[in-house]
């Protein structure tokens, strides 16, 4: 399998920290270091909506499509929720004691996870007026990422600068499993399936990404080649590839079976901070120092 990328579209902006595709609209949600969030139409290449959220960086913004909402977390430790049709702010509350690094929306339940530099993860229930229904403590450094388990609606994984991955149940404040995952801090964790087996992916400041057997809790592959911190990792749902992004300004594509490197892309837009894929297509978006780029992967 040979891989190429084509039809690159670039939207220049201040430093982009997160990107996400809307599941049905031709939209990408982008959060900026400047405190602004916008929805960009990649078909018309126009900005649909802009939200000035805060004076501090917004490191995570997510769609909640079932409600028509956007949820954002910023360095002022607040979570804000907007109706993306009317642009009305419908909720605002202080969620943590320090920067919010990540928000994660549950695929089926009315839950959102928030992860923070206060070393804590919290679970919020929007059907209970955004009550915090659980606090998860155990990390000893910034919590950079959280991801829900696609097979178990009550489980999720987290990644921290303390070098560990932790596996949690939403009904318990203590972790079920702790993996000493990398020599340096972790920036990213996510799940993916291959041959009906569930795996974890991690990305670290030790310049590597790793693939973990979710059942055996063991590392089955280390992906080496980046020349700086690995900031984001994902498995594309429509293609047999794992994608890693880095502060070395490259995106690397790996065969999801043998984990051999297949293709390296240097966009030339500065460091890459986040990646998003679009289900049902070969499209990928990345958040960079100088804006976002959207490409089609062909194989």
Distance CA 172, CA 167 (A): 11
What global pTM score does this model have? 0.95
- Angstrom distance (rounded) from CA 39 to CA 101: 20
The position carrying tokens 């297509």 is 281
Q: What percent of the chain shows pLDDT beyond 90?
A: 89
Report the DSSP pairing between strands 218-223 and 209-213: antiparallel
pLDDT by residue (tens digit) across 247-298? 999 999 999 999 999 999 998 999 999 999 999 999 999 999 999 999 998 8
Confidence tier at 6 by pLDDT (50, 70, 90): low
- Res 185 pLDDT > 90: yes
DSSP secondary structure, 61-74, as one string: EEEETTTTEEEEEE
Contact 180, 217 (CB under 8 A): no
pLDDT for 196 equals: 86
Q: How confident is the model at residue 7 (pLDDT cuts 50, 70, 90)?
A: low
Q: Find, among 194, 203, 158, the residue nearest to 176 by Cα.
A: 158
φ, ψ of residue 78 in degrees (nearest 5): -100, 145
The mean per-residue pLDDT over the stretch 192-213 comes to: 93
Q: Evaluate whether 295 touches 28 at the Cβ level (below 8 Å).
A: no
Q: State pLDDT tens for residues 66-103.
A: 999 999 999 999 999 999 999 999 999 999 999 999 99
pLDDT above 90 (res 194): no
Question: Residue 2: its pLDDT value, please?
Answer: 52
| Distance (Å, whole) CA 193 – CA 13 | 34
Q: Does 9 score more than 90 pLDDT?
A: no
pLDDT at 3 over 80: no
Contact at 8 Å (CB) between 225 and 262? no
Distance (Å, rounded) from C-alpha 261 to C-alpha 254? 4
Enumerate domains of the chain plus CATH numbers: 8-296 (2.130.10.10)
- Mean of the per-residue pLDDT values of the chain: 94
Report whether pLDDT(175) > 80: yes
The per-residue pLDDT for 142 is 98
Q: What number is the average pLDDT over the span 194-208? A: 93
């Amino acid at each position: 399998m040979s891989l190429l990328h084509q039809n690159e579209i670039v939207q220049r902006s201040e430093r982009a920290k997160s990107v996400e595709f809307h599941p049905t609209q031709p939209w990408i949600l982008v959060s900026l270091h400047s405190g602004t969030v916008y929805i960009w139409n990649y078909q018309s290449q126009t900005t649909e909506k802009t939200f000035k959220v805060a004076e501090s960086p917004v490191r995570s913004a997510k769609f909640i499509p079932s409600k028509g909402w956007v949820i954002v977390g910023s360095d002022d430790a607040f979570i804000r929720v907007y109706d993306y049709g009317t642009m009305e702010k419908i909720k605002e509350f202080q969620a943590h004691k320090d920067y919010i690094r990540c928000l994660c929306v549950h695929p089926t339940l009315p839950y959102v996870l928030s992860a923070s530099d206060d070393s804590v993860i919290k679970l919020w229930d929007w059907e209970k007026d955004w009550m915090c229904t659980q606090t998860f403590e155990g990390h000893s450094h910034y919590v950079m990422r959280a991801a829900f388990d696609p097979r178990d609606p009550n489980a999720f994984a987290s990644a921290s600068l303390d070098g560990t991955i932790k596996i949690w149940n939403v009904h318990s404040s203590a972790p079920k499993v702790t993996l000493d995952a990398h020599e340096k801090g972790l920036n990213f964790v996510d799940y993916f399936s291959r041959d009906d087996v569930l795996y974890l992916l991690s990305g670290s400041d030790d310049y590597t990404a790793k693939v973990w057997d979710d059942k055996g809790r063991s590392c089955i592959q280390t992906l080496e080649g980046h020349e700086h911190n690995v900031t984001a990792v994902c498995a594309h749902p429509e293609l047999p590839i794992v994608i890693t992004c880095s502060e070395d300004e490259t995106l690397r594509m790996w065969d999801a079976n043998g984990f051999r490197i297949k293709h390296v892309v240097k966009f030339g837009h500065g460091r890459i901070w986040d990646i998003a894929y679009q289900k049902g297509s070969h499209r990928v978006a990345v958040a960079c120092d100088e804006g976002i780029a959207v490409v089609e992967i062909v194989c």
